[in-house]
Structure 1
Amino acid sequence: MVNNSLTPSYFQFTVFADFGPLRYLFFSLSLLIYVTIISANLVIVLSVCLENSLHQPMYIFICSLCLNSLYGSTGFFPRFLMDLLSNTHFISCPLCFTQMYVITTYLGHEVSLLTVMAYDRFAAICQPLHYHSKMTFRTVLLLLILVVLYTVGGAAYVLYQPTTLPLCGNKLNRIYCNDWSVTELSCEDLTAIRITSHFYAIAFFFIHLSFILYTYLRILLVCRRSSSEFRGKALQTCLPHIVTFGNFCISLFSEMSLSRYKTDEVNTFVINVLSVEFLVIPPIMNPLVYGLKLPQIRAVIFRFLREGKIVHPGSFKNPTGTYRS
């Protein structure tokens, strides 16, 4: 809760245009996207939870990634859909900071989960004989807990500044509450805060990116010395992760690029597209990529849709995802 007396009691989103009757079309399209995100991610989550052969580290992390997509989308779409139909676009201060927290933690969870998944693939491909001793259920649970705690701690640091600064305005040039868009309303000089925030963001993503690149360099070195069959199996499980991580980086870069420009100097349409890309594209792409590229998940989904019942355990010959050269 913000105690500063100069903090407004509400904020106003200023980039919503008056679309007239077209608002119902945009509302329908946005609702369709939201329902698609919920449906696609729930299919993956239920497939992993209900099928015993998918109770393996790789699939548990995929399930967590889909749950995070549901979490981030729920923090954005309900409010966005309401604003599309509304003539006024005000949000109370507590709700604004709540949305800001949800979206910030969604970002942190996504990056951290992708990093943990890179380590899982590294252990499965480069150290197959030790994989089961390293990636036990206890280890997987510990990693997921660390992801949550690490992200919550980082989000608390990121949100500390905008909740304590005196604000001289209440107009946000975004379609959702963003930490930097609120910080820009401050009456104080933001030079030091801007430098600190950029340094923190660069350091946060550089650490994760460096680790992921290191794991894939080690994987490439192992694949280079292995058979073509081994390389094919390794590529089969690594490709969805590579596509997911690349897609998320592009979406996140689009959002972060907005902070380098004054939003009143950028076209409103560009602001809207870049603002929501990382909240829309990854939650849609993740379940599609993993559901279509991984045969184990694909087989469970197709059988579930065809027969309407749970696949019997032991349907797959190699559910662990580990390889030996």
Structure 2
Amino acid sequence: MANSTSLTLSYFILGAYLNVGTLRYLYFMITALLYIVIGIANSSLIVVICMNRSLHEPMYFFLCSLFVNELYGSMGFFPFLLIQIISDIHTISATYCYLQIYCIYTYANVEFVNLAVMSYDRYLAICCPLQYNTRMTSKKAFILVIVVWLYSLVKVVITLSLSIRLTLCGNVLNGLLCRNYLVVKLACSDTTVNNIYGLFGIVLSVVVPLFPILFSYMKILKICFSGSKQTRQKAVSTCTPQLVSLINFSFGCCFEIIRSRFDMSSLPSVLSMILSVYFVILQPLLNPIMFGLQMSKIRETYKHMCCHKNRDTVKVQVFVAFHQLNLFSQNGDSA
């Protein structure tokens, strides 16, 4: 019977969606607005970094990777959420469910590992400024970004391949989106390998990146307490956005791990649902705001590009108006 269930299983039911009636249209508009803002904010910063040669440095290269990851994670979550909000039947095909798991999990892995690499980059810039250009070249930064993405993509491929092989005895997932742990909980076959690799995966995704993060910020704090005022200001201006981003993302991921593995029925259902997707919604919205506003070089470059574009637009409009005026005067003379 279990084998026949696994063969005929073609879709999952998402059981966390509530019947909100006509409020669904309000939720749809709010979610769509968030998605649009996230897309515009992250895309504009990617364009700013790519278009300006003065920002072609390792730190901004890592930032560009971070913004690309925000777009990638949002693409795997928001379109599906918008469809589910407006729909009466909350189902998802098995194929798309596994694809969503892959997208969300790679997004989370890339985010944390990328922040770890960024913290190490700041350590070199603040604690070893004279050696920074030799120890963190553009080539090394490019290789690090490739490693961050390949590391995350391969790790999640293994996780997903272990889950796909399982025999499932149900198809109801208690969540707003597909998660690997929820699928594994439906298994009626042996999940020992999944559990072991799950623990190993947490070590690879959290503990390993945590070492360079802790090492880097401990060294930076030491420099801040013993260094000059200029060094402290540089450390605060460049590290504050990264620390806020790291703390925010860690909070969201930790809550989701706790919520999925322990009984959180005492929490209001709406609050539980919001917190379960907190790391996918707020992180892509917070990062461009934090890095765009806090980092003066990006802010000034963005202002310069906008002002330059506005000046060009005004020049074109003046030229067109002047040309039309000449044509009008010539027609009047000929008349």
Mark yes or no: TM-score above 0.5.
yes
- Matching residue's letter, 2:251: I
- Match of residue 295 from structure 2: 294
Q: Distance in 2 between matches of 1:33 and 1:80?
A: 12
Counterpart-to-counterpart distance in 1, 2:290 and 2:50: 18
SS at match of 1:91: strand
Q: Deviations over 1:79-109 (max 9, x none)?
A: 1101111111111111111111000100110
Deviation at 1:222, TM superposition (A): 2.5
Residue 264 and residue 233 in structure 1: after superposition, are their counterparts in 2 closer, same or farther (change >3 A)? closer
2:6 corresponds in structure 1 to 6
1:178 and 2:183 equivalent? no
Q: Distance in 1 between matches of 2:82 and 2:45?
A: 25
Q: Which residue of 2 aligns with 1:33?
A: 34
Query: Which amino acid in the other structure matches residue 16 of structure 1?
Result: Y
Task: Provide the identity percentage.
Answer: 37
For structure 2, list consecutive stretches of 5 or more residues without a partner in the other structure: 312-335
Corresponding residue of 1:83: 84
Aligned in 2, Cα 1:276/1:220: closer, same or farther, shift over 3 Å? same
List aligned pairs for 1:206-221, cutoff 5 A: 206-221=207-222
Over the residues paired in the alignment, what is the CA RMSD in angstroms? 2.1
Partner of 1:100: 101
Partner of 1:116: 117
Amino acid at match of 2:306: L
Q: Normalising by structure 1, what TM-score?
A: 0.89
Query: Would you say 1:138 and 2:139 are equivalent positions?
Result: yes
Does residue 251 of the first structure (1) align with residue 285 of the second (2)?
no
- Deviation track 1:219-240 (CA, whole Å, cap 9, x = no partner) reads 2222333211121112111111
| One-letter amino acid matched to 1:36 | V
Deviations 1:87-138 (A, max 9, x none): 1111111111111100010011001100110111111111111111122121
Go from structure 1 to structure 2 and tell me whether the alpha carbon gap of 1:186 and 1:262 turns closer, same or farther (over 3 Å shift): farther
Q: Which moved more, 1:143-152 or 1:192-201?
A: 192-201
Q: 2:273 aligns to what?
A: 272
In the aligned structure 2, how far is the partner of 1:50 from the partner of 1:243?
Answer: 27
**SS at 1:139 equivalent:** helix
Tell me: higher relative CO, structure 1 or 2? Use CA pairs within 8 A at least 6 residues apart. 1
Q: Deviations over 1:285-312 (max 9, x none)?
A: 00000011010011112222333279xx
Shift of 1:195: 5.6
The letter of the residue matching 1:165 is L
Instruction: Determine the C-alpha separation between the residues in 2 that align with 1:217 and 1:106.
Output: 27
The change in CA–CA distance for 1:263 and 1:183 in structure 2 (over 3 A counts) is farther
State the secondary structure of the residue aligned to 1:12: strand
Mapped contact 1:166–1:187 kept (Cα < 8 A): yes
Partners in 2 of 1:185 and 1:133 — Cα distance? 52
2:138, 2:204 → 1: CA distance?
A: 30
C-alpha distance in 2 between matches for 1:156 and 1:117: 25
Q: Which runs of 5+ in 1 are unaligned?
A: 311-325
Secondary structure at 1:128's aligned position in 2? coil
Q: Which structure has the larger Rg over C-alpha atoms?
A: 2
Distance 1:88 1:263 in 2: 25
TM-score, with length taken from structure 2 = 0.86
3-state secondary structure, aligned to 1:186 = coil
Structure 1 contact 4–164 (Cα < 8 Å) conserved: no
The alignment covers a number of residue pairs equal to: 308
Question: What letter corresponds to residue 83 of structure 1 in structure 2?
Answer: Q
Displacement after TM superposition at 1:6 (Å): 1.1
Identify if the C-alpha distance between structure 1 residues 244 and 234 changes in structure 2 by more than 3 Å, giving closer, same or farther. same
